[in-house]
Amino acid sequence: MSNKCEHIYEIHYIRAIASLMVLLVHVSAAYFYQHGKQYNDYTFFINQISRFGTPMFAMISGFLLFYQTRKKGFKLNKFVSSRFTKIGIPFLIWSIFYLLFSYFALKINPMKDGSNLFLVNFLSGNAFHHLYFIALVFQFYLIFPLLQLIRSKIVWPLILILAAIINWYFVKVDVSAFFEGMPALVISQRAFLPEWIFFFVFGGFLAYYWEPLQSFSKKFKFSLSLVAVMVVILAVMEYRSVGSIPSNRVTNFINIPILTLFMAGIMDSLKKINIFDTFLKEIGSLSMAIYLIHPFVINIFDRFAPQIFWKTSLFPITFGIILLGTIIFTKLIQRLPFSSYILTVPKLKVSGSNKQIQPRVNEVSVAK
């Protein structure tokens, strides 16, 4: 087993883009509420197209775990302690923070429906609307020790097909209707593993086929660019025909692999542009922090920003202010004692004579 764990800048950059997509979804949703619970064509387009971001995060979470195992092997004790420190503790801290924020600022009582429902909501990441994904990642971690036993490249396509079938069934069928009480409540949660499992398993598939797929994406990047444009066009047709659609929709079983290969293919070109290279490195390293903090920043901006900032024409400026505010808040938290338990920010390794920063592939990549 090789001890070398390569630095894969393509995945780091894709993580940055996914992070920006998630932020775009929530900023456009803020415009929805500011405009009397209505989208216009522009904000609805941004909201729907940016929903590729969440399944990309699920894919990246799987990729980094399986790629590290492929290169370094698997040690259960180290895995458990690492995940608890990097994800578990921040999840607890930010869940409590958002519960207090909801209670004192938004006047929402989290205990109004009783302690049992409160516990389910807390564990399901419902302390605030975005934390469900962190709860979902914990479920990824529960099945990962079993899935990591699959080291054969031949088996992974079969596992991917099986995951697609499971995911399709649980998205299309309301399984919670077959149960009552607490089981029905648990199954109906947004953070229910079978409804997202394809994207995590695709990350594992990508990890085991990374080298040939990376070569393919770079060789056929022009063709993939055309296919990616078609994905966007078809996505627009989809939401225009059926309305708002969720991030784990079945069509993303095709969209996410295509978009991942497309982005992997063009990253060499982006890396040569210093401003994009620097920006994506920074956003990628702060992706989890941005994910955890940005709803708070949006709420504060919503309360105190002049109404003019909610004009549709100023969307790019509003988005930029919220992104910058989130980054500043992150930097301030990093100055606190024990900040690593509050926010997980991957260390970036400086290598080479030109001091290029390379992301460590074995760092957590939730965001998200």
Which DSSP string do the residues of 182-228 spell out, in sequence order? HHHHHHTSSS-GGGTHHHHHHHHHHHHTHHHHHHHHHHTHHHHHHHH
Q: Which structure tokens are listed for 150?
A: 């699959």
**In 3D, which of 112, 54, 157 has the Cα closest to residue 368?**
54
Predicted pLDDT at 268: 92
Predicted pLDDT at 4: 52
Predicted pLDDT at 137: 97
Predicted pLDDT at 346: 75
Query: Which residues of the chain are modeled with pLDDT < 50?
Result: 2-3, 350-368
DSSP state of 356: E
- For residue 313, how many other CB atoms are within 10 A of its CB? 8
Q: What are phi and psi of 350, to 5 degrees?
A: -90, 125
Helical packing angle, 221-242 and 210-219, nearest 10°:
90
268: amino acid identity, one letter:
D
Q: Using an 8 Å Cβ cutoff, are 241 and 221 in contact?
A: no
Predicted pLDDT at 257: 98
Predicted pLDDT at 345: 86
Cα–Cα distance, 340 to 354 (Å, whole number): 28
Predicted pLDDT at 366: 45
Predicted pLDDT at 367: 38
Predicted pLDDT at 6: 61
Block residue for tokens 């216009």:
40
Predicted pLDDT at 113: 87
Residue 25, Cα to own-chain centre: how many angstroms?
Answer: 12
- The 10 Å CB-count burial string (b at 16+, else e) for 12-43 is bbbbbbbbbbbbbbbbbbbbbebeeeebeeeb
pTM of the entire predicted model: 0.93
Predicted pLDDT at 170: 97
Q: What are phi and psi of 359, to 5 degrees?
A: -75, 140
Q: Is 334 exposed, middle or buried (0-12, 13-18, 19+ CB in 10 A)?
A: middle
